[in-house]
């Protein structure tokens, strides 16, 4: 395929007519044969025929008469093969002319059935006709019907004259026949017996037939415009809601077909297209057997049955045999199109596996869309196990020489030939295999200014792929700098990473400017540093900055930092001794360690005089990034890392069994706990407690015991104790682990997640008893299974989020919207989400003043400093711009979005904020699900409440444990208990002059739920009656858009914040924008919409604007909240929707409507192989930047005679 000038603007899909199918075809396939097993060449007129599909060898016909490119375009008169490239076998199609029409199973079976809607026949009855089990009336002769009716009336008269006894029976029979005669219409389904009895009597009145041919005959007669007119008339008459819905659906399908120019009979196939042979290959295996694509078997079956049917028709065989053959042909074509559409009639392979039909090739994870178009295998890549490279800088990675040589082989070959070490590629390869020292020198030179990309699966957010400068190493494992582990979520217990080489100058530019690890220091989800010191580095800095009372040299005074370091090196003072230092005119109480630490910080940063643990180091990193630009900060982080490693070694902290000390008070506390538990049991024995209360009290007793011991554990350890040092510094672990090792393990869960009553009283140091060990295994096992199950569901949630938001890109600087959302201080503080964190990076709608002093102007973005000032003031709420209220069409504007959190500056036009939002929400989702597994089965932590709830909100499902909302203002009349439910009756307030439909509204509530109202309370529309989750649809109706937005954001945030995963509100708002991006049409006005249509909000606004311009009646609609899956499937891009889910349903709908894909989103552009319209694909790359990256071409060295150096001899070139 020639991709020069490849600039598709849109893609169109439509149902093909038989004429178009023949137009695509290069010939009819009449034989089921594939390859000749003797000659291994394609059979003539078979499924691989060279005459139809093109030659198997470049520029060579089948018989060999014409060979070579000079005969290009010649058609051989002997074998009929055109002399051309063999690649045409990937493009050229064939066709089969079917002996009997066959319905396309997608248009019959895909819900809603398009054939069923057009003909107004239920699918079950249609199937009977198509599979030859019933007849359908195809034609009714009105004149003959009138004649038959007159004849019937005469017959009754004659009977009356002849015999009075049989008059009644004859009259009834005549009436029945008359009713049947009146009922006869095109499309009426008749059983076989009915057909024969009617045909016998009224053979000239109607025609009926079976099979797809009959359906095609009806569809050919259909006038779609007349049908639409008739259905619109019916709409005015019909009052039944179900019938109205069906009529609206029928009008919609008919209108779509008229608009797209599709004829209904095209849904019945007469010409069957055949896929090009190279897309369904046959591959020779060892031993003379062939592996073949399943499609070939399915096509062969169709051709065999088609040929047999032709023959039977020529021989004029009995109808029953022909009918059976037609049914078999219909089933063969069904299986070819979609082998899973009709369960029970699947065609299986010899190994009892269903064959992969055309539909199976498209859909699912292994289908064409997701396997080949959205995910491709790439060249210039490798993978290896990762190990830590402590001495590497943040933007470097250690590449094994063998791996690097393979990745950069072509660049090395190029240089080898340039320098005259070899004259062709074959020689150059040999030169490399010999392992000459020159090769490594060339390799070093080649990689000097190149970046490589490292990727660790699963790539949950954009920091899962970053660019590094390769450093050649001797090992076979890839080395990565320790500071990037958090971004990749990598550890060194056997993790592997893939390495990719960006080839083009544009790709290298992006790697340098956008993906370099030293430029990705902030997390896109919340703007916090992701490159912070951890583990050994924290331990080293903690040891270095610690103050030890009574250490050698305590109290000494020094005049300069150099003096202090000299004293330390001479052994006069200890590194942790408290000393006094004169800094300018001030005296500073500090330690030598802190002075050493401050050496690595930039000048003018200020003296850091604190005992640094993990939290303070993170804050320090954040301060560095804020004060200095991101590009230069990484150097200081590298210095901190090196210092940390050095002093972690000096500290020589180890963790031994002897360091774990069992608290002396433990036996007493446990004995007391046993007494309290025994007391509860005795109360239960006396009948004072129910079993449930006893259980709860026992669990409560042991939880208190565990908490008491938990307080003692840190006190038991001395501050110099290695365990205390490691945990207090934040280098590793938490107090929960020493509690289990030294205190007690406590309560554990069983596999259902319920707490087991028996506590594990022992600690790991004491050793568990057999019973304790046994009950602990349940929780451990649950942890492992939950991890596996929930990782999958979090991954699926991320996929849906990406799909729903993938076309949201920043498309303009400012949409000038004056609306926004209000961030209320107390809402976030309810679930400990700081007010300043919610405000940071948002654009303010109004001026913000503190004590009459202007802090933030309207239209300015709130910085961290401003956010802190607002947090410390008495401001209770701030109105900010939001993606939800942004007016930009097909995207978002930069002002409504605010800062790009990963760069600490206003978001650029072209940024794919939808994808960033999806990754930011999805990545911690997966993290949270994985986090259960670290708790080791201890009762308590588990996100099960979290993840399914997040999914429930984003899918806008009616929640479990739903709370009821009041439908209208009123007064609570009564609260009654009825069985397992409570009924709250509310009497609506009747406004003067208005009537109420009902005296009271009844609300059904579960008995367990806490009530928020009592009898006599006044309630307002939208008030919540009981505890529980709210239904988003009800919330939108009774409380409005603002309340809905607040509820979704706060509900999702409360789940994530409780798990310690911070996400900025704007990411959730981006998804909410998509959930609220559809409206339901109530009145169509003069537009093409139909009542009940779900339409894109911006499309609706555009059409109405056009209507007003033309002075026509615009449509009316209401906002609808939709789940993310529904929105993604309802995407304006059929390519994006089809590659997401329900491929067949999406394609059927798009083909009937003749839909055009505008190629606005990212997925559809990836599918057709274009640059995505985001980032550099949207903004473009400056030509000067590309030119600056272009390597300078070197002249080949020459000896005296001007010839190159022969291979193997020392070149006269300057040393490289």
Name the one residue in this structure whose structure tokens are 């891009």: 1133
Name the one residue in this structure whose structure tokens are 């064939």: 94
Residue 541 known to bind ligand: no
* Cα separation, 466 vs 162, whole angstroms: 101
Cβ pair 801, 1071 in contact under 8 A: yes
Q: Please name the residue ranges forming H helices in 840-912.
A: 864-872, 894-897
- Spell out where 788-876 has E strands: 810-812, 821-824, 848-850, 853-856
Residue 896 known to bind ligand: yes
Residue 485 known to bind ligand: no
* Cα separation, 1002 vs 1019, whole angstroms: 14
Which residues have C-beta within 8 Å of that of residue 1196, sequence separation ≥ 6? 418, 419, 420, 1204
Residue 334 known to bind ligand: no
Residue 886 known to bind ligand: yes
Q: Which two tokens stand for residue 84?
A: 């051309």
* Cα separation, 1195 vs 1191, whole angstroms: 13
393-417 CB burial, b ≥16 within 10 A, e <16:
bbbbbbbbbebbbebbbebbbebbb
Biggest alpha carbon distance in the chain?
A: 141
* Cα separation, 371 vs 507, whole angstroms: 23
Residue 1208 burial (C-beta neighbours within 10 Å; 0-12, 13-18, 19+): exposed
Q: Is 1153 left (phi over 0), alpha (psi -120 to 50) or beta?
A: alpha
Residue 659 known to bind ligand: no
Residue 491 known to bind ligand: yes
Of the chain, the end-to-end C-alpha distance in Å amounts to 42
Which residues have C-beta within 8 Å of that of residue 609, sequence separation ≥ 6? 588, 589, 590, 594
* Cα separation, 658 vs 19, whole angstroms: 87
Q: Is 90 left (phi over 0), alpha (psi -120 to 50) or beta?
A: alpha
Q: Which two tokens stand for residue 591?
A: 């330690």
CA 150 from centroid of its chain's CA atoms: 68
Cβ pair 1058, 1085 in contact under 8 A: no
Cα four-point dihedral sign 151, 155, 161, 167: negative
Cβ pair 936, 783 in contact under 8 A: yes
Distances (CA, A) of 745 to 658, 677, 760: 19, 17, 5
Residue 592 known to bind ligand: no
Residue 76 known to bind ligand: yes
Cα four-point dihedral sign 116, 117, 119, 125: positive
Which of 419, 640, 456, 655 minimizes the C-alpha distance to 538? Answer: 640
Strands 853-856 and 848-850, sheet pairing: antiparallel
Cβ pair 35, 29 in contact under 8 A: no
> Within a 10 A sphere around the Cβ of 221, how many other Cβ atoms?
12
Which residues have C-beta within 8 Å of that of residue 97, sequence separation ≥ 6? 28, 270, 271
* Cα separation, 83 vs 274, whole angstroms: 22
Length of the chain: 1216
Residue 61 known to bind ligand: yes
Which of 222, 182, 224, 238 minimizes the C-alpha distance to 205? Answer: 182
Q: Crossing angle of helices 535-544/614-627, nearest 10°? A: 100
Residue 79 known to bind ligand: yes
Residues marked as binding?
A: 61, 63, 76, 79, 491, 493, 495, 815, 886, 893, 896
Binding annotation for Mg(2+)? 491, 493, 495
Annotated binding site for Zn(2+): 61, 63, 76, 79, 815, 886, 893, 896
């Amino acid at each position: 395929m020639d991709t020069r000038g490849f600039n598709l603007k849109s893609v169109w899909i439509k149902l093909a007519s038989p004429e178009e199918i023949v137009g695509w075809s290069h010939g009819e396939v009449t034989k089921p044969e594939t390859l000749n097993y003797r000659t291994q060449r394609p059979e003539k007129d078979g499924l691989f025929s060279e005459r139809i599909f093109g030659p198997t060898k470049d520029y060579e016909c089948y018989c060999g008469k014409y060979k070579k490119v000079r005969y290009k375009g010649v058609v051989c008169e002997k074998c009929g093969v055109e002399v051309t490239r063999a690649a045409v076998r990937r493009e050229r199609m064939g066709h089969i002319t079917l002996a009997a029409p066959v319905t396309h199973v997608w248009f019959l079976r895909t819900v809603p059935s398009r054939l069923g809607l057009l003909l107004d026949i239920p699918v079950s009855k249609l199937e009977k006709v198509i599979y030859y089990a019933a007849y359908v009336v195809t034609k009714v002769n009105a004149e003959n019907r009138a004649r038959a009716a007159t004849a019937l009336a005469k017959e009754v008269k004659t009977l009356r004259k002849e015999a009075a006894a049989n008059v009644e029976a004859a009259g009834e029979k005549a009436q029945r026949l008359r009713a049947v005669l009146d009922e006869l219409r095109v499309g009426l389904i008749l059983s076989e017996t009915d057909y024969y009895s009617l045909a016998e009597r009224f053979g000239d009145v109607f025609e009926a037939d079976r099979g797809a041919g009959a359906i095609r005959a009806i569809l050919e007669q259909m006038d779609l415009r007349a049908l639409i007119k008739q259905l619109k008339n019916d709409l005015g008459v019909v009052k039944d809601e179900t019938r109205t819905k069906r009529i609206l659906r029928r009008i919609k399908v008919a209108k779509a077909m008229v608009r797209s120019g599709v004829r209904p009979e095209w849904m019945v196939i007469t010409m069957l297209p055949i896929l090009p042979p190279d897309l369904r290959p046959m591959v020779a295996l060892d031993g003379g057997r062939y592996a073949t694509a399943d499609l070939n078997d399915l096509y062969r079956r169709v051709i065999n049955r088609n040929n047999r049917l032709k023959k039977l028709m020529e021989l004029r065989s009995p109808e029953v045999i022909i009918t059976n053959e037609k049914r078999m042909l219909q089933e063969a074509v069904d299986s070819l199109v979609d082998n899973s559409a009709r369960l029970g009639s699947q065609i299986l392979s010899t190994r009892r596996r269903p064959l992969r039909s055309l539909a199976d090739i498209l859909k699912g994870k292994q289908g064409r869309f997701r396997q080949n178009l959205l995910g491709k295998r790439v060249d210039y890549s490798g993978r290896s196990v990762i190990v830590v490279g402590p001495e590497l800088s943040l933007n470097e990675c250690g590449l094994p020489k063998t791996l690097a040589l393979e990745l950069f082989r072509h660049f090395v070959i190029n240089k080898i030939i340039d320098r005259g070490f070899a004259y062709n590629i074959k020689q150059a390869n040999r030169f490399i295999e010999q392992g000459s020292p020159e090769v490594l020198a060339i390799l070093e030179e080649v990689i000097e200014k190149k970046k490589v990309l490292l990727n660790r699966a699963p790539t949950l957010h954009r920091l899962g792929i970053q660019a590094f400068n390769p450093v050649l190493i001797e090992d076979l494992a890839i080395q990565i700098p320790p500071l990037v582990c958090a971004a990749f979520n990598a550890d060194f217990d056997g993790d592997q990473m893939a390495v990719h080489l960006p080839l083009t100058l544009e790709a290298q530019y992006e790697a340098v400017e956008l993906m370099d690890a030293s430029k990705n220091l902030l997390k896109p989800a919340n703007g916090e540093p992701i490159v912070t010191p951890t583990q050994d580095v924290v331990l080293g800095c903690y040891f270095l900055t610690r103050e030890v009372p009574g250490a050698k040299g305590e109290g000494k005074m020094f005049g300069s930092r150099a003096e202090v370091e000299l004293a330390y090196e001479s052994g006069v003072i200890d590194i942790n001794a408290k000393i006094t230092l004169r800094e300018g005119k001030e005296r500073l109480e500090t330690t030598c360690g802190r002075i050493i630490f401050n050496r690595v910080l930039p000048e003018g940063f200020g003296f850091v005089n604190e005992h640094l643990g993990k939290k303070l180091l993170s804050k320090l990193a954040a301060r560095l990034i804020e004060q200095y630009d991101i590009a230069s900060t990484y150097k200081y982080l590298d210095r901190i890392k090196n210092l940390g490693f050095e002093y972690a070694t000096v500290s020589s902290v180890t963790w031994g069994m002897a360091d774990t000390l069992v608290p002396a008070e433990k036996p007493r506390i446990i004995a007391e706990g046993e007494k309290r538990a025994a007391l509860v049991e005795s109360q239960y024995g006396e009948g004072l407690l129910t079993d449930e209360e006893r259980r709860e009290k026992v669990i409560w007793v042991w939880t208190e015991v565990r908490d008491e011991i938990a307080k003692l554990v840190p006190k038991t350890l001395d501050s110099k104790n290695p365990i205390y040092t490691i945990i207090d510094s934040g280098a590793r672990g938490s107090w929960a682990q020493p509690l289990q090792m030294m205190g007690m393990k406590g309560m554990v869960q069983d596999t259902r997640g319920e707490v087991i009553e028996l506590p594990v009283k022992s600690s790991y140091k004491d050793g568990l008893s057999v019973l304790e060990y046994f009950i602990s295994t349940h929780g451990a096992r649950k942890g492992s299974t939950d991890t596996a199950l929930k990782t999958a569901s979090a991954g699926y949630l991320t996929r849906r989020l990406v799909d729903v938001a993938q076309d949201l890109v920043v498309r303009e600087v400012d949409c000038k919207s004056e609306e926004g959302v209000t961030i209320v201080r107390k809402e976030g503080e309810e679930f400990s989400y700081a007010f300043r964190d919610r405000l940071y990076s948002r654009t303010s709608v109004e001026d913000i003043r503190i004590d009459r002093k202007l802090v933030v102007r309207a239209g300015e973005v709130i910085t961290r400093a401003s956010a802190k000032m607002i947090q410390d003031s008495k401001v209770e709420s701030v109105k900010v711009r939001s993606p939800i209220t942004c007016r930009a069409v097909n995207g978002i504007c930069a002002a409504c979005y605010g800062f790009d959190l990963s760069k600490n500056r206003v978001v650029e036009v072209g940024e794919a904020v939808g994808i960033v939002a999806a990754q930011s929400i999805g990545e911690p989702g997966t993290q949270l699900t994985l986090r259960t597994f670290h708790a080791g089965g201890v009762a308590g932590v588990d996100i099960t409440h979290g993840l399914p709830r997040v999914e429930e909100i984003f899918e806008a499902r009616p929640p479990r444990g739903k709370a009821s909302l009041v439908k209208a203002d009123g007064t609570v009349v009564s609260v009654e208990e009825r069985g397992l439910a409570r009924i709250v009756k509310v009497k609506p307030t009747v406004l003067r002059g208005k009537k109420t439909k009902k005296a009271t509204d009844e609300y059904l509530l579960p008995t367990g739920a806490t009530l928020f109202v009592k009898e006599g309370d006044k309630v307002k529309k939208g008030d919540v009656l009981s505890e529980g989750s709210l239904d988003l649809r009800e919330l939108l109706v009774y409380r409005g858009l603002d309340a809905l937005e607040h509820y979704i954001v706060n509900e999702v945030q409360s789940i994530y914040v409780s798990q310690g995963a911070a996400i900025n509100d704007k990411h959730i708002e981006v998804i909410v924008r998509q959930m609220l991006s559809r409206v339901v049409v109530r009145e169509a006005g003069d537009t093409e919409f139909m009542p009940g249509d779900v339409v894109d909000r911006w499309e609706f606004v555009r059409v109405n604007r056009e209507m007003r311009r033309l002075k026509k009646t615009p449509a009316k609609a209401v906002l609808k909240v939709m789940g993310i899956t529904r929105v993604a499937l309802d995407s304006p891009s059929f390519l994006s929707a089809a590659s997401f889910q329900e491929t067949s349903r999406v394609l059927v709908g798009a083909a009937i409507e003749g839909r055009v894909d505008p190629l606005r989103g990212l997925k559809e552009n990836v599918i057709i192989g274009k640059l995505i319209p985001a980032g550099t694909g949207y903004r473009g790359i400056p030509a000067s930047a590309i030119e600056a990256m272009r390597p300078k071409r070197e002249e080949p060295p020459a000896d005296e005679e001007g010839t190159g150096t022969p291979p193997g001899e020392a070149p006269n070139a300057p040393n490289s």
